[in-house]
Amino acid sequence: MSFNYPKNEKLKSKISIGLLFSEGKSVSKYPLRLVYHSGSLNENEKIKMGVSVSKKYFKKAVDRNRFKRILRETYRLNKHILLDNLDKPYAFMFFYQTKERLSYEEINTKTIQLFEKFVNQNIKKESSETEGNSGK
């Protein structure tokens, strides 16, 4: 199990980010939100992840950067939840959406819950689609 966050996993493409916000779906577990879009990556890329903390909630860049570091770290340690259950490439944007200053442990717990919620929603959706297609 590799717990790294290499450069090729970082979401930086303006086109991919634009697709995320125009066509992407989202899943939330307060105070975190995960916006995702499938199929917009190269064949050799399984996952792309970006993080964001709103200036609306944290005016100082120091505070925003701290929470972005925490989000990247919780993603890095828990991305196996996503990778083990994905069959096609996904682009993700990970948001922290509250003024509350949660501890690392609380954010980590919420991240795990959020990733599991995403997996459960998409596994159900994909299995129901394949069952519907096999009946034809």
Confidence of residue 87 (pLDDT cuts 50, 70, 90): confident
Question: What's the pLDDT score for residue 45?
Answer: 77
Helices 61-83 and 104-134 meet at what angle, rounded to 10?
A: 40
**pTM to 2 decimal places:** 0.85
Q: What residues have CB less than 8 Å from 36, skipping those under 6 apart?
A: 20, 24, 25, 26, 27, 90, 91, 92, 93, 118
